[in-house]
Chains A and B, each alone.
Chain A
Amino acid sequence: MLVNSYTNDGLWNLEKPVMPQRSRLFPLEPIGIGTIYVESLSGYVARLAEYHSTTTEQLILSKILPLMERRMSQTSPTDIINNFFGIHYSLAAANEIKGIFATTLIQVLEELTLRQDLTNLSPLKWASLTFESSFLRLYQAWCPLCYGSWRTQNRIIYNPLLWLVNTIKFCPHHEHQTLIEHCLHCNQQFPTLTRCSRPGYCSSCHLWLGDFGINQNLDEQVVTENSENSWQYLLMGDVSSHRRDKLTWQCMWFDDVEDLVANEPSQFLPPKNQTLDDF
């Protein structure tokens, strides 16, 4: 029987095509870029770890540290780890090192996530201020009302950098709510980045830090705020401009703080959580 053989077109190539570069970590979008409510770098790392169903410690040790070591060849791995987690580590003399550290961390995160916009996570005049330093709190601070309302609205829970600025004592959203540094459950303080940081949860007892009875509180808040606003308006004119001035003054060490505050939406909220259907 005479049959033609397969030509080269009939042969199958099983070799996989060359892929475009894949990101080692999911390219999570940082929250609040370009506004005064931008996410803190430590909060971003914690959120990244949560997203990968792992702990910050594991994420840093397995993914971030190897790349940090390569870039900071003069610093020993122990020092790098101490820079991450050690709260009082060489704080006095370390402003310069911390600056390099934060910049390197951002570069490494950009390499892992293939995102280009992470430098916006440190809109401070000096990058050295990104991690704990004299302008930033040593311990995580938070507004339970913000956490609570984000949770009830199914929004992403994140840690704004603003909460970490130590001159800011009150939540910018909720005028009478002081920022809290002690967990309501265990009365412990914890640093901005710990071995198991998770935005919205205590690092020592792992319980929820936000307010639960939020709906009621939020409503009250709005009512009181409104009445107060109108009263203030009568006395002093435009309240919002007054609030903006106050914010500008408090955040004077942000880069281009006037622009940031001017661009600020009246009520900034983090994006909604994605559900399964969105994928």
Chain B
Amino acid sequence: MNFQRPFPQELLTKSSRERLNYFHSITVGHLRLRQALDALLMNLQQPTDICVLFVVGPAGVGKTTLRLRAEKLLLEEALISMSHNTCQIPVAGIEAIPAEGGKFNYKDYYLRVLESLDNLSVTLSTKNSNVNFQNHAIGSNTYFASKSSDIVRRALEQTMRHHQLTALMVDEAQHLLMLAGGKQMLHQMNWIKSIANVTGTVHILFGTYDLLNCCHLSGQVSRRSDDIHLPRYCSDSKEDVTEFIRILQTFQTHLPLIEEPPLVEKYEYLLDYSLGCISILKTWLTRALRTALAENAMSLSWQHIQHNEYSKARREQIQQEAKAGEQRWQDEVGTQSRTQMETLAPEDLSQPPVKRGRVGKRQAKRDTVGINLDVS
């Protein structure tokens, strides 16, 4: 038999963990991701006055994937200059932590960035790095942990400058900015802008549409920032559907099962139930694959997929947030994505708003009386 799948045939004989890992490691550079990545890289490679970039998109659309890819590309690009300049670290990434009890801990944030830079230089530096290195990475941070947040900030600024950090990527950035009160948010925005300004490091904030709350709070910040939208695929646009099928096709050929499952046939269902978010789709398929592998199945059956679909409540929550966010994006930022948004509108109309009367008040309609034989 001629083996036509894109993975090595031996994989089919490997353990289910390895097969699962293989599928997990597949990342499709699909259209929306590529567009967002291009916009992001252009902003970084040809710097203008922009010092803060917002990358917004719904949950599970692939923001973290975008971040990892951008980090990789920027590192690769800087490899030559890094070999001359032994302390250069062109890009670093952290994940923001939600404010405890609504009060943002600046020192903790600084320490996390410092730590990530320190870890980068350790993990990047020596292959024979041993416990010693780990030990003093901790040592230097306990020193700063006992200092006031001003001192830590100073140290952080100094470190960023010396490492010639061009970009700091902050994942889950909505945590940085979701604080009570508009004034507080404005303060946070100014704070980020000021660090970016002082150190010359572009800050890229990845987050949900909640970030839009803060982008436009002050003119000064708006001038120095830009937004990049990473939208989901939408069932009403033909282009989107084609691209979604293409992604499905890719996933199905990469599923390490003896028979290739015909996922594309059910693209409408998959698009609908994954809400057009590719990371959700992939998690879903990975879970289905796990079930199939546990059952030693030849292929991914319909039951496997249905069994692992996201529950209605989850989907509705994601959908609701995504829709509200897209609406806001359209209202506040985008002209470029208007065409896509317009296609969303009929879907909204198809679900007429539920009228709710007063509790206890009867609806004005005739009650059926007697035996109703007319079923039509």
Residues of A within 8 A of B (CB): 1, 3-8, 10-17, 19-24, 26-27, 51-54, 58, 61-63, 66-67, 70, 113-114, 276, 279
Contact = CB atoms under 8 A, between A and B. Distances in A.
Given A24-B125, A52-B155, A14 B68 contact: yes
A66 B136 contact: yes
Interface string B234-260: 000000011001110110110000000
Interface string B207-247: 00000000000000000000000000000000001100111
Nearest to B156: A53
Contacts of B42: none
B162 to A, nearest CB: 5
B353 interface: no
A70 B132 contact: yes
A54 B158 CA distance: 11
B304 interface: no
B125 A21 contact: yes
Given A63-B140, A279-B164, A4 B246 contact: yes
Contacts, number: 126
Interface in B116-169: 120-122, 124-126, 132-133, 135-136, 139-140, 143-144, 151, 154-155, 158-159, 161-162, 164
B121 A6 contact: no
A6 B34 CA distance: 13
B143 A13 contact: no
A21 B127 CA distance: 9
Contact of B161 (A12, A14, A279): A279
Contacts of A58: 139-140, 143
B200 interface: yes
Given A20-B79, A21-B126, A3 B136 contact: no
A12 B70 CA distance: 11
A47 B325 CA distance: 51
Contacts of B139: 58, 61-63
B280 interface: no
Contacts of B341: none
Given A11-B26, A53-B151, A54-B143, A22 B125 contact: yes
22 contacts: A1-B245, A4-B246, A4-B249, A5-B246, A14-B69, A14-B72, A16-B75, A19-B124, A20-B86, A22-B121, A23-B121, A26-B162, A51-B162, A53-B151, A54-B140, A54-B143, A58-B143, A62-B143, A66-B135, A66-B136, A67-B132, A276-B200
Interface in B83-112: 83, 86-87, 89
Nearest to A6: B250
Contacts of B144: 54
Contact of B82 (A13, A19, A53, A61): A19
B230 to A, nearest CB: 14
A17 B74 CA distance: 10
B347 interface: no
Interface in B299-354: none
Given A17-B76, A279-B164, A22 B69 contact: no
Contacts of A17: 72, 75-76, 79
A63 B143 CA distance: 12
B132 A66 contact: yes
A70 B133 CA distance: 12
A13 to B, nearest CB: 7
A15 B28 contact: no
A15 B242 contact: no
A279 B38 CA distance: 26
Interface of B: 6, 26-30, 33, 65, 68-69, 71-72, 75-76, 79, 82-83, 86-87, 89, 120-122, 124-126, 132-133, 135-136, 139-140, 143-144, 151, 154-155, 158-159, 161-162, 164, 198, 200, 241-242, 245-247, 249-250, 252-253, 264, 267
Contact of A3 (B72, B200, B242): B242
B158 A53 contact: yes
A63 B138 CA distance: 10
Given A70-B132, A276-B161, A15 B72 contact: yes
Nearest to B139: A62
A33 B156 CA distance: 30
Contacts of B30: 6
B40 to A, nearest CB: 14
Given A53-B158, A279-B164, A26 B87 contact: yes
B246 A3 contact: yes
A1 B151 CA distance: 61
Given A11-B29, A14-B27, A20 B155 contact: no
Contacts of A276: 161, 198, 200
A14 B267 CA distance: 27
A22 B154 contact: no
Given A19-B124, A26-B162, 20 more contacts: A1-B241, A3-B246, A5-B249, A5-B252, A6-B30, A6-B247, A8-B6, A11-B26, A12-B33, A13-B72, A14-B69, A20-B79, A21-B125, A22-B125, A24-B125, A53-B159, A62-B140, A63-B140, A66-B136, A279-B164
Contacts of B27: 11-14
Q: Which of B26, B79, B140 has the most CB of A within 10 A?
A: B140
Contacts of A4: 246, 249
A52 B158 contact: yes
A61 B121 CA distance: 19
Contact of B249 (A3, A22, A23, A52): A3
